[in-house]
Amino acid sequence: MPVEYRELSPAKLNLFLKIISKRDDGYHNLRSGMTLVNLCDEVTAKKNSKFKINYIGPFAPENNSFEDCIVEKIFSKFNLVKPNYSFTIKKNIPIQSGLGSASSNAAAVLRILEKLNYEEIKKINFSEIGADVPFFVHGKDSIVRGLGDIIVKQPFPKYHFLIIKPKQNCSTAEMYNQINLDGTNYDLNLDTDEISEHDTGNDFEVIAENKYKEMSSLLKFMRSFPELIFSRLTGSGSCIYSTFESKSNAEQALSIFKKSFPEHWSAVVENNFI
């Protein structure tokens, strides 16, 4: 058995996100188009005397630990024996961003555990680890429905994106608590696996704009670029992205953004890179 394994752990963007209904258990059913982009964390597992998790990179947590570590959750929730490997996770993806880095990290660790012959993971309901984990395990652009557990492969066009991370973080729990479904009348076709005319926008955007002044001004700015296709919040935030057909237009937008908002993290990425 190899002494070292490496897995890329890509970010995702929600090309659209609709909250369909609230379930009796308090969770929400959603519908979203999700695409992988070439902004990646890196997960490396090396043979070691004991199990260990170490974070490095620009978005590594202070004190080398997250309060709610999704990787630890894999082992604790399903009573898995921890392997004698040291997992190093290089955090290149902003956290609390809506880019799915934690769920992507979990999926990368699950792929490594599969290589380590952990037969138990074949029985795991991945959505119990995190709502986006099934999508990242699937590893293909998809229409995602339900709690994130209904996944149908759906190719999306090639895009180039300017992604920006505001200083403001958005709590996923708080954003969901602000969802108001009163008067919502979504077409039943939202339960289909086919793309429909309703598949646009992000239901969290209006909440972010109303709740955070900074988010409102940044969303407005991100919608102002020349050659823009569309601009959107991803997930429940706080990252915002603008979409372009060409890399040169995305890089032009990046230059404009950096001149106006040098204090915010920003990058140009693309989908359909695998």
Report, as residue numbers or ranges, the catalytic residues: 12, 132
Element (H, E) at 86: strand 85-90
Q: Do 87 and 53 touch, CB atoms closer than 8 A? A: yes
Q: Provide the 3-class DSSP secondary structure of residue 189.
A: helix
Q: Do 55 and 61 touch, CB atoms closer than 8 A? A: yes
CA 255, chain centre distance (Å): 25
Q: Do 134 and 147 touch, CB atoms closer than 8 A? A: no
Q: Do 168 and 215 touch, CB atoms closer than 8 A? A: yes
Closest CA to 273 of 40, 38, 105: 38
Give one word for 234, left, alpha or beta, with left for phi > 0 and alpha for psi -120 to 50: beta
Q: How far is 99 from 91, CA to CA, in rounded Å?
A: 12
Q: How far is 254 from 257, CA to CA, in rounded Å?
A: 5
Q: How far is 219 from 232, CA to CA, in rounded Å?
A: 7
Residues 96, 100, 105, 106: is their CA dihedral positive or negative? positive
Q: How far is 111 from 104, CA to CA, in rounded Å?
A: 11
Max CA pair span of the chain = 58
